[in-house]
Structures are given as structure tokens and as C-alpha cells.
Structure 1
Amino acid sequence: MRSYLENVVFDHVLRPRNPARVARTKDERELVYRFRHRVYASEQSDLDHPELDEAKRWIHSPIDDDPATTIYYLGTPERVLGTARIRVWEPGAVPADVRELHSLDLLPESERATVGDIKMVMLDPELRGAHVGAAMLVNALIDSMRERPVDLWFAISAPGLLRRYHMLGFDPHGGRFLCSHRGLEVSILGLIGDLAELERRKSPIHRALRRAKVPQGGPSVERYRAIIRGDRTVCSDTREILRRISDTSSGDVLHGLSARALQIIAGAGVVLELSDGDQLIYEGFIGKELYVILEGQIATERDGERLGVRERGQTIGEIALLDGRGYRTASCRSVGSTRVLGLRPTLLARLEVVPDDLAQLRERLSHAMALAV
């Protein structure tokens, strides 16, 4: 019942109240560029962003001016509260760098598909966590598909946001992990036309897409869905994660927690299968995800000097999670094949229903932080 009511509220309240406007004029676009700067540079201290222009205090790229690009924003021409950049290409016209970024060669007949790419999605801090971003994004997608159906949508996600994107119809599809200056990210594929799958997930967007008469996926959808199901690089299945984290040893950060606490943790996390040398975290950048090493090793370094190696049962990212600021104090890279559990900072709030477990976990993370500082 809750999911049904949430979907009704999303479709009839949130979506109409948060229209995605097209930034058509020079003034509108420049306001969007400055909003990006406010989020990335001022709020998140991302001063190494490749498109940053500190003199103009904006973030702008030649991609913004490409004919395939549409810039959407939430708010008014006087005050931008959110934005997304969408590019769409006809079959066979996808640039080589985009094909490589999203590993399109893994998808059969992708050269015959109309492809969309979603980037630079961000919201004002006061609007986060209330489905406002999803409402803006869905409105932008519907507007994009009014002109032409899009077969395959792609986006880039931080590990901690994969479950949210899953509810919007996006999933990892076996592509390589992307190691940017912001840390490890994942290319995700969205089959927006697969309305039956969105309904099965109780996605808040399936009613909106159905009412907008978005074209449903053709015969290739099931083939792509099979590729998604076969992906082994990322796991967000709660039962499988629970199985993996239930087998712990004395000294592991999750050892001895109650069954209910482990169920909450499994339902909040994603498991990542890293290859040798994958960069999980970059020193100095914003990020509050906590990682628990399930198998393998993670090397840490600060100012270019090796600090040590963490192993199974230990954590990565506890300092940024607990100190409240979110600044990464060290860089972290996988050593050999490594499996980690990624958890968002909202986990601590979820564990408030099991206060003894929460206190125990906080104590262990604080101890790990004291050893790392």
C-alpha cells in the first residue's frame, strides 16, 4: 500500500510541481553553469573538475553547445534549483568516446539503437532525498522522448546511488568501472520503455511514463534485460548480500551484529567486484560512502605515500562518514581481485531501530578511524 500511495503522490503531486524546463536562452544556460559551480565547487570542493572555470565561477563544457545536447533545469529563470544534461543520438551516430564510456560493445545491435546519455544531474541541497530529483529527471526524459523514442538510456552513478537508480529503471550492465577524480563510478543502462519491469519494481515513475504514452521496448529489451541479469560486477540483491555478509569472523566490523541489523545493512548496500588497481576513493574529495572489505585487499595512501593495506572485515571511508564533513583523507585502490560492500551514510539512521547494534558499529568504526588518523 505504501508503494502505491508513494507512486500516486509522485505522479500527481511531485511531478507536476517540479517541471523540467529547457534552458534555451543564453541567460538561462549561464545560470545553470553557475548552479553547477555552486554544487560541485562550492559545496563539494571539487576544484579539479575538468570543466571548471573558476574565473567565471561556472562549469561549462563544449558538450553543452552540441546540437545533440539539451540542458534541463528545475526552478525559475531567476533561480535554478536543479539541472540535468541530456544528449540523444540517432542509430549509428553515438560518438566513439561515449560508446567506450558505457561499454556499448557489450550490447548486441546497439549500433541500431537510438541512445540517450544523462549527465550533470544535481539538486539544491534542501531538495535532496524527497524524490524531487527523480521528478525533474522523469519530466526531462519524457520531454526528450516526445520528439523521438530512445531505446537505450545511459547514466553514470556513484555506488551509493545505484539502488535509487534501480528504482528508476537503471542497472549496471557489465561495463568496466570508471575511475574519475571523484572516485569509482559505474555506467548504468536504463530500459525506460520496459514498463512491465518498472511496474514489477514498484517504481515511482512507471505510472508517469505510461500516462505519457512512452513507447514500450521492442524485442531487443529482453535481450538487454538478460545482459543486466548476467552482470557480476555489481550486486544489489538483498538476499545475496545478506548471505555474503552473514559469514564473518571475529574482528570483522560486522561480526556479532543481530540478524535484524544485518538485514538492514544488506538492504541498504551494494557489492562491487573490483579488479586490480581500481581506484575506490580519491584523497581530498567529498564522499561519505562506507566500504566494508568482504574479500581481497585495499591499499591506502596519503600525499602519495603508502599508509598500509586493509583486508577482509575492515572498512574504508569511516573517517568521512563519522566526522560529518565528508572529505576523504586518503586514496584507496584495490590490490588484486577485491569484493567490497558499499554503504551510504543514511545506513546509520536506518540502524536506529536496533540501538545496541548501532552503538556497537559506531564504536568499531570510531576505533578504525582512530587507528587510521
Structure 2
Amino acid sequence: MINNNEKTNSYATIIAENSIEICVAKTPAEKREIYRFRYQIYVEEMSKNLAEADHNNKLLYDELDEWAILLYAKIGSEIIATYRINIGTMTDFPQEVIKFLALDTLSNYVIEHGSPKFAYATKVMVTPAHRSSPALYLLMAKCYEICCYKQARFLLGACNFHLLRLYEQLGFRRYYKNFLYPGYGLLVPLVLLIDDVEHLRKLRSPLFRIARKRQSVNTSVVEWFNAVFTSNSSVINSQLTTEEELWSILCKRLHGLPTAGITLLQDLSETEAKKLLHSCGILVQCAPDDIITFQGDVSYTYNILISGRLKSLTFRRPSKEYSTPGQHFGANGLTEQNTHTQDIAATSYTEILALSGIAFQKFYRSHPEIAHKVVKSIINTRKELARIK
């Protein structure tokens, strides 16, 4: 049975979807509006320091825009979201893109099976007022349809840690090592296998309702990908792991209960802590020299060291290190957006638990009692640290 609130939310979603129009930019004027929209989000809102930004004209564009498909969502005449897709063979992409997305390895499949095109999605953004709307899904759905039409087997991209849960919900997978991109920080390469309809079904991805209607699906790409990239992978997919499984993994990693080893959880019951971690957390692996936080960047996560070692590159004398499992590092980006005060890098193979501020906003609405305890814990910890100093 659907209650009144569910009916209202469902009706609101239908209205929102009906009012959002998905377009492909064709004219120079449309493209310029997208470049201006990007500048507003990345530079003015998120304070990113990007070399390609045209500050005089307040535009953001680069060489990939010259041959990209530029999608945008609008309500009336207002752009509320945008998504860029480049579809081509490996030789069409800059060398740096080939390197950090491992296109040379992926090309082994596409060459053998006669489907040489890759799709690379970047510059994905939604205006703050519409980040809870269907805008991102509608853009993703259009992107998926374009990939099917163009016969691209792999839809590739990359994101920061706080967005990993969102992309895994859609059906993307982590498959390769992290890389540093100037102005954007440490990014994780992602891939959506266009033909892996079963994966989309298991995830209950919103893309499944499109994928299930496809007449022809090539499952050999899924088998090949799993053999090459995931057979020895230590990646724990946030959407395929239950509360109990994640809790068990953390207990083993921390050699004890997370409620005992993680200060943030100290006021929560075991049931509450499980729900918070499963709803907002994601385990991420980092290699030596991966710089996880950058001084001056806005934080969108609450980072907890699970294993390995970290050090500050900012405070060298005395050297500040992080080596205690359960230890928090970096600025709080869970309950508010603060600015990092240090560059912090991994000095060994490291695993961290990143709690997403975006996921916490949703969690706050569905579990306000637990969320209030988390906010109070962070405030109390901050006061205690100030008192000690």
C-alpha cells in the first residue's frame, strides 16, 4: 500500500520529469550558454581552480568540446544540468585520457570484436536547486541511448570520492587506479558496460528500464571485462554490499567494532551505525603517493583511515602522520562543507572509508534521529579539540 507521502512524492517526480526537457546543443549560442553554466557551477560555486577557465568571459571549455555531443537539461529557458559525451576511437582521445582510462587495455576487446568506439562522459553537473530532481537521471538515460545507437560498448568517466556511491547506483564500476587531474583532485576511473543489463537489474539502476527493452545484447564484453579487470579486484561495490556485509568487513579491517574505533560513531547504537555507514559510506583504495586532500579545496566527504598510512605534505615539521585505523583526517564534508587545511597523501597502499556529504543529505531526511546524533558528535569533537589546543 502506498501512503499519502509516497503518492505526493511520486506525483512530484512525474511533474518534475515532465517539466524537464533534454536537449542537444547545436548552435554556438547554446554551447556558449553551457560553457557559462559550467563556469557558474565549477568556478563560482565550487571554487575550483581550473586552467581551462576563461575568467574574462566566465566560460569553461576545453579541446574535447570541439567534437563532443553536449547535452543539457532545461526547464523553460533555464539550463539546470549538462553532460558532455565524446564518442570515438582510441586515437581520437588525448594521450592523457588514454593513459588514465586504460583505453589501450580496453581497446584489446573493441578491436577484436569490431566495435572500436568508446564513449567518454565528462563535465557532468546539476544546479543546486535541482540536485534532487530527475535531471541527472534523464541526462544519463539520453547518454545511454546515444551509446547504444553509436554502438559504444564502454561508457567511461571519472569522479571524486563523494560521488562514487551515486555513480555505482547508476551502474558504473570502478576498474582502474586513481589518477590526479589538475583542478579536480584525485579521481577514480569508472566504466558503465552498456551491454551488462544483468548488472543494471541487480543494482536496480534507473537505467534498467531502458536497458531491458534492448533487442540485442553482447554479453561477451561482460565476460571479457570481468576476466581482465575484476577477477582479482578488491573493490567493494557500495550497492552490492549489505549492511551486515559492510559491517563485517569493517570489523575485520579495524580488528574490533567500528563503534569503538571510529569517534564519529561513539554515540550511535550498532544498528544506527550500520545504517549510517551503509547509507553514506564507501570503501576506497589508494596507492602510495595518491594525494587525497588538497589544501584550500572544499571537502565533500568525511574521511576515515581504515588501513595503511598517510602523511601531511603541508605540515612537515614536525611531520604529521595518520596511521591509526579509525582515525579521521581532512576537513568535515559530511555535515557541512569545510575547506581542507592540508595536502594529505598516502605513503603506502591505503584503504579509507569516505562518508559522502551528498548521501548524508538524503540520509538526514530519512533518518533524522541518527543524523542529529552524528551532527552533535562532530560538534562535540570539534569543541574538545579546541579545548585541548
Counterpart among 339, 350, 369 of residue 353 in structure 1? 369
Q: State how far apart, in whole Å, the 2-side matches of 1:37 and 1:355 are.
A: 33
Does structure 2 conserve the Cα–Cα contact (< 8 Å) formed by 1:182 and 1:285? Answer: no
Does structure 2 conserve the Cα–Cα contact (< 8 Å) formed by 1:299 and 1:306? Answer: no
Letter in 2 for 1:119: T
Does structure 2 conserve the Cα–Cα contact (< 8 Å) formed by 1:44 and 1:286? Answer: yes
Per-residue CA deviations over 1:130-179 (Å, capped at 9, x if unaligned) read 33212222123313533x22101101121122221112110101x11012
Q: How far is 1:303 from its partner?
A: 8.1
Within a 5 Å distance, the mapping from 1:147-166 to structure 2 comes to 148-166=150-168
Q: Which residue of 1 aligns with 2:79?
A: 80
Q: CA 1:77–1:351 in 2, change beyond 3 Å: closer, same or farther?
A: closer
Q: State how far apart, in whole Å, the 1-side matches of 2:377 and 2:215 are.
A: 45
Q: Tell whether 2:326 aligns with 1:313.
A: yes
Letter in 2 for 1:361: S
Q: Which residue of 2 aligns with 1:263?
A: 274
Give the TM-score normalised by the residue count of structure 1.
Answer: 0.84
Q: State how far apart, in whole Å, the 2-side matches of 1:242 and 1:136 are.
A: 34
SS at match of 1:286: coil
Q: State how far apart, in whole Å, the 2-side matches of 1:229 and 1:372 are.
A: 48
Q: Which residue of 1 aligns with 2:382?
A: 366
Does structure 2 conserve the Cα–Cα contact (< 8 Å) formed by 1:248 and 1:255? Answer: no
Q: State how far apart, in whole Å, the 2-side matches of 1:118 and 1:214 are.
A: 24
Counterpart among 169, 172, 185 of residue 171 in structure 2? 169
Does structure 2 conserve the Cα–Cα contact (< 8 Å) formed by 1:294 and 1:313? Answer: yes
Q: Which residue of 1 aligns with 2:293?
A: 281
Q: CA 1:325–1:294 in 2, change beyond 3 Å: closer, same or farther?
A: closer
Q: How far is 1:19 from its partner?
A: 3.6
Per-residue CA deviations over 1:164-207 (Å, capped at 9, x if unaligned) read 1112110101x110123332210011012222221121111211
Q: Which residue of 2 aligns with 1:243?
A: 248
Q: Tell whether 2:346 aligns with 1:330.
A: no
Q: How far is 1:310 from its partner?
A: 2.3
Q: Which residue of 1 aligns with 2:108?
A: 109
Q: How far is 1:231 from its partner?
A: 2.3
Does structure 1 conserve the Cα–Cα contact (< 8 Å) formed by 2:299 and 2:331? Answer: no
Letter in 1 for 2:206: P
Q: Which residue of 2 aligns with 1:297?
A: 309
Q: How far is 1:302 from its partner?
A: 4.1
Q: State how far apart, in whole Å, the 1-side matches of 2:216 and 2:13 are.
A: 18
Q: CA 1:325–1:81 in 2, change beyond 3 Å: closer, same or farther?
A: same
Letter in 2 for 1:65: E
Letter in 1 for 2:22: A
Q: How far is 1:49 from its partner?
A: 0.9
Does structure 1 conserve the Cα–Cα contact (< 8 Å) formed by 2:144 and 2:194? Answer: no
Greater alpha carbon shift after TM alignment, 291-300 vs 306-315: 306-315
SS at match of 1:299: strand
Q: State how far apart, in whole Å, the 2-side matches of 1:192 and 1:27 are.
A: 32
Q: CA 1:92–1:51 in 2, change beyond 3 Å: closer, same or farther?
A: closer
Q: Which residue of 1 aligns with 2:356?
A: 344
Counterpart among 10, 25, 28 of residue 27 in structure 2? 25
Structure 2 residue runs of 5 or longer lacking an equivalent are none
Q: How far is 1:365 from its partner?
A: 4.3
Q: How far is 1:102 from its partner?
A: 0.8
Greater alpha carbon shift after TM alignment, 180-189 vs 276-285: 180-189
Q: State how far apart, in whole Å, the 2-side matches of 1:241 and 1:370 are.
A: 33
**% identical aligned pairs:** 19
SS at match of 1:272: strand
Within a 5 Å distance, the mapping from 1:112-151 to structure 2 comes to 112=111, 113=115, 114-146=117-149, 148-151=150-153
Q: How far is 1:50 from its partner?
A: 2.3
Q: How many residues align?
A: 364
Q: Which residue of 2 aligns with 1:223?
A: 224
Q: Which residue of 2 aligns with 1:205?
A: 207
Question: What value does the CA root-mean-square deviation take over the aligned residues?
Answer: 3.4
Q: CA 1:303–1:62 in 2, change beyond 3 Å: closer, same or farther?
A: farther
Greater alpha carbon shift after TM alignment, 86-95 vs 33-42: 86-95
Letter in 1 for 2:382: S
Does structure 1 conserve the Cα–Cα contact (< 8 Å) formed by 2:121 and 2:157? Answer: yes
Letter in 1 for 2:57: K
Q: CA 1:355–1:128 in 2, change beyond 3 Å: closer, same or farther?
A: closer
Q: Which runs of 4+ in 1 moved over 6 A?
A: 8-13, 303-307
Q: State how far apart, in whole Å, the 1-side matches of 2:320 and 2:20 are.
A: 47
Q: State how far apart, in whole Å, the 1-side matches of 2:385 and 2:314 are.
A: 15
Q: Which residue of 2 aligns with 1:192?
A: 194
Give the TM-score normalised by the residue count of structure 2.
Answer: 0.81
Q: How far is 1:329 from its partner?
A: 2.4
Letter in 1 for 2:179: L
Q: CA 1:84–1:229 in 2, change beyond 3 Å: closer, same or farther?
A: farther
Letter in 1 for 2:45: E
Does structure 2 conserve the Cα–Cα contact (< 8 Å) formed by 1:72 and 1:83? Answer: yes
Q: How far is 1:230 from its partner?
A: 3.9
Q: How far is 1:217 from its partner?
A: 2.9
Structure 1 residue runs of 5 or longer lacking an equivalent are none
Does structure 2 conserve the Cα–Cα contact (< 8 Å) formed by 1:71 and 1:85? Answer: yes
Q: State how far apart, in whole Å, the 2-side matches of 1:54 and 1:65 are.
A: 20
Q: State how far apart, in whole Å, the 2-side matches of 1:60 and 1:321 are.
A: 30
